[in-house]
Structure 1
């Protein structure tokens, strides 16, 4: 797997330069290196278009060289590399890049924190999470640029999951906080480099994946090595972000900062419809995985456990308690709003 990963990294490293071909650059051109959490196949949707757009418009004033998952540093070291300036910008969630902030556990998949992808931008832009994130990252020398929603979190497995008992002992690639939550149901969280996951499922090192929805399972090849897709999810949307090293961000002219923010927002918008439509279309028409479900009455056990998990997280610090309270208030408001925001049995 090490040899395979090095080959993929070497070949993928050529892709950004080819795809983002720019005119001859002046000596004064601002040059950034950016790494995403995503591998090449997924990056084609979640980041490539935004960086291509930025480079095309910025021209010889600024160019961003994009690297994919684990190319420059392992995903778990992304924050450290960003903080010390080895990398100028990052697209990731807080959780998998191990950022040392009070909000890290809420990045990625915070269990049942959201039900739909639109919940994420509302939480950040209307319920105050954006301000909290910016304050927390300012303390550690990183500019939090924006947050957006990705896909929901489902299990893709080799064996069918039709009850909570079927989760016992399953070795699953997932995010740190999601793994911490799921371990109470017998799931064994496993951490591996992103590019090794497909092979790990094939060799039996992994029994499944709880890292994405069905769109990514098909896009990155995981649907080729798993047989079943569990329709129950532990979160309605992954919370991901764009970050920059604070010193490098301060050096960028205001109009280029604005351009970068606009390109990030375009990326968020693209994912809103790409995932929303893709999740439904592949459930209905996807030929590679059989859909399974855990009965609602049994799955309610998991949802109730999430509320206890929230309280456990809130007890860890004042900031975490503040964020948990926002999640509680938001979900209570959505429940009271009723259809289409929440259904009575949600």
Structure 2
């Protein structure tokens, strides 16, 4: 049976339209500048991200990756993304609490969670990420990814056997941990990760709460500080985010947006797994650091000192109050605090 001229013409037009639509999905080549707060230690993970994006997008998405401190300081990521200096930032909310009021809660309040699975549930299923996304939108950036850190211990030049030992030391810490330590008369300061080696080697600081053994190893901090102490305050000790410039996001097709978010999700998961596996390996090897644990009584005192931080954060805004309510309800459900 022969097709009529009309049907043939309709089919030809339909096929041509489908081909054009397929081509239009990648009509615009996207060049992205992404900046992380990590250094060379994540180079292989970044390379996997670049390859994944290029392959999945048929070459329409290309990524240029910058390490910590190469273009802008890590605590300036929100401003840099909003201005378009960089397209994507891989950072930590507690680096910019003055710019994003919920940032300290996002980064991780002491005692907020005790496992990565619990943290994921709080952000994804209990509404915390929705509140955080609103806050970033007000600052001209879009939240498109969530990652989780790992161990969050104290590295010092001298041994630490108790909280009392810290009173004579100057410790690098993010704002929430600093607030806890300062209640015990421990001097604190904030420095970006890329500055820790020089600061420790010159005595500007005596210790740092920055990450776990693998991060300290990758920053070569074992050359200047060998005492790692588990302070038992928060695990994972921080959360990570991926932020994108909204104008960059809007230039992408829906398919490109999906490719990007899925690739970033895998990148953030790869970073978390690298941290977890690396920390176990470094500790088990027992060669680079002398590993200790803060006495249980001191860890309990730190945890109790952290509760007013939750209250103080809740008082800063209605959004923060809603976020802290999520944390409180979760802690009650987990049995860590009573109603």
| Structure 1 segment 182-201 matched on structure 2, within 5 A | 182-201=181-200
Tell me the residue number matched to 2:131. Answer: 132
Matched, 1:283 2:283: yes
What is the aligned residue count?
311
CA distance in 1: counterparts of 2:131 and 2:325, whole angstroms: 13
The equivalent residue for 1:341 is none
Change (3 A) 1:272 1:116: same
Q: How many angstroms does 1:59 deviate by?
A: 4.2
Range with bigger deviation, 56-65 or 257-266: 56-65
Aligned residue runs from structure 1 range 1-346, under 5 A: 28-41=28-41, 43-44=42-43, 47-98=46-97, 100-237=99-236, 238-335=238-335
Counterpart Cα distance in 2 of 1:280 and 1:166: 26
Give deviations 1:126-157, integer Å, cap 9, x for gaps.
11112112222222221100212111311011
Q: Distance in 2 between matches of 1:332 and 1:124?
A: 16
Q: Tell me the distance in 1 between the aligned counterparts of 2:273 and 2:67.
A: 23
d(CA) in 1 for partners of 2:44, 2:222: 17
Q: How far did residue 173 of structure 1 move?
A: 2.1
The Cα of 1:278 is off from its aligned counterpart by: 2.6
Unpaired segments of 5 or more residues in structure 1?
1-25, 337-343
d(CA) in 2 for partners of 1:137, 1:61: 27
- Aligned equivalents of 2:172, 2:325: Cα separation in 1: 29
Shift of 1:48: 4.2
> In structure 1, how many angstroms separate the alpha carbons of the residues matched to 2:182 and 2:43?
32
Pick closer, same or farther for the CA change 1:94–1:217 going to 2, 3 Å: same
Task: Name whichever of 266-275 and 293-302 sits farther off.
Answer: 266-275
Aligned partners of 1:109 and 1:175 also within 8 Å: no
**Conserved? CA contact 2:97–2:104, under 8 Å:** no
Matched residues in 1 for 2:50 and 2:106: separation?
A: 22
Partners of 2:118 and 2:216 in 1: how far apart?
Answer: 23
Q: TM-score, normalised by structure 1?
A: 0.83
Post-superposition offset of 1:98: 4.9
Would the alpha carbon gap of residues 67 and 273 (structure 1) be closer, same or farther in structure 2, given more than 3 Å must change? closer
Secondary structure class of the residue paired with 1:64: strand
Which is further off, 58-67 or 86-95? 58-67
Q: CA RMSD in A?
A: 2.2
Q: State how far apart, in whole Å, the 1-side matches of 2:45 and 2:220 are.
A: 16
Deviations 1:202-228 (A, max 9, x none): 111111110101121122211222121
- SS of the aligned residue for 1:131 comes to helix
